[in-house]
């Protein structure tokens, strides 16, 4: 019988997967998330356990997407096959993203428009917004801190790269200009975009 133990360790929620299938794990987690959403929303999550070795990369990605849908922050996944996980296609969006909308890409996310406040975008790779970014953006959502977030006008409520989180103070007096966010020395840094 499938089982997922959840324990708190160093301010993270650690999901320990024992013997079971991807569908069984998903059903168990969804029930837990819906029963006590306040425990999970906004919590950093780690995947561990022998059960992960028997899942395909697609099944692990589906469990990670489920966590993202319920507002969790993904940290690393402890499985030897993680390095070989294939990343999906890039997603191109040719419109503004309205408040409350959520979008996810298994590759990079490129948005030709504005991302309004309280909307949320996540991507396994980079995020590029050719407009104003005001909502929540999470690049490298499966733990890849080498990813970047770029916007013509970077004014997000929150940005995440891998397991790093930053609240960006909005300076209304500053002229909008292209900026890029990246991780350096274990912190998220933001600088003016300079073409190579």
pLDDT digits (tens, 9 = 90+) for 65-86: 888 888 888 765 443 333 333 4
Give 83-127 pLDDT, tens digit per residue.
333 446 788 888 898 888 888 888 899 999 999 988 999 999 999
CATH superfamily of 4-84: ACT domain (3.30.70.260)
Is the per-residue pLDDT at 164 higher than 60?
yes
How far is residue 16's CA from residue 50's CA, in Å, rounded to a whole number? 8
DSSP per residue over 82-133, as a string?
GGGPPP---EEE-S-B-TT-EEEESS-EEESS-B-TT-EEEESS-EEEEEEE
> What does DSSP assign to residue 49?
S
CATH class of the structural domain 91-192: mainly beta
Q: Where are the domains of the chain?
A: 4-84, 91-192
Contacts of 130 (CB under 8 A, 6+ apart): 110, 111, 112, 113, 151, 152
Q: Which two tokens stand for residue 1?
A: 């019988």
Same fold, 4-84 and 91-192: no
What percent of the chain has pLDDT above 70?
88
Cα 181 to Cα 21, 32, 132, 195, distances in angstroms: 37, 34, 14, 14
**Confidence at residue 188, expressed as pLDDT on a 0 to 100 scale:** 93
pLDDT value, residue 183: 94
Based on its alpha-carbon atoms, the radius of gyration of the chain, rounded to whole angstroms, reads: 17
Residue 196 pLDDT more than 60? Answer: no
**Residue whose C-alpha is closest to residue 181's, from 131, 140, 120, 124:** 140
Q: What is the Cα–Cα distance from 61 to 73, expressed in whole angstroms?
A: 14
pLDDT tens-digit profile of 10-66? 778 889 998 889 999 999 999 999 998 888 888 888 888 888 888 887 788 888 888
């Amino acid at each position: 019988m499938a089982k997922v133990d959840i324990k708190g360790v160093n301010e993270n929620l650690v999901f320990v997967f024992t013997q079971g299938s991807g569908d069984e794990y998903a059903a168990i987690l969804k029930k837990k998330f819906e029963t006590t959403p306040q425990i999970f929303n906004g919590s950093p999550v780690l995947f561990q356990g022998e059960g992960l070795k028997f899942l395909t990369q697609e099944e692990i990605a589906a469990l990670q997407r489920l966590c993202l849908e319920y507002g969790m922050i993904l940290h690393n996944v402890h499985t030897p096959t993680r390095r070989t996980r294939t990343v999906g296609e890039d997603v191109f969006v040719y419109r503004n993203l309205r408040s409350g909308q959520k979008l996810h890409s298994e590759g990079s996310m490129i948005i030709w428009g504005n991302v309004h406040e309280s909307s949320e975008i996540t991507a396994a790779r980079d995020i590029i917004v050719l407009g104003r970014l005001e909502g929540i953006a999470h690049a490298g959502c499966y733990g890849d801190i080498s990813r970047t977030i770029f916007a013509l006008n970077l004014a997000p409520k929150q940005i995440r790269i891998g397991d790093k989180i930053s609240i960006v103070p909005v300076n209304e007096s500053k002229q909008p200009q292209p900026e890029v966010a990246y991780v350096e020395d274990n912190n998220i840094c933001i600088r003016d975009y300079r073409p190579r």
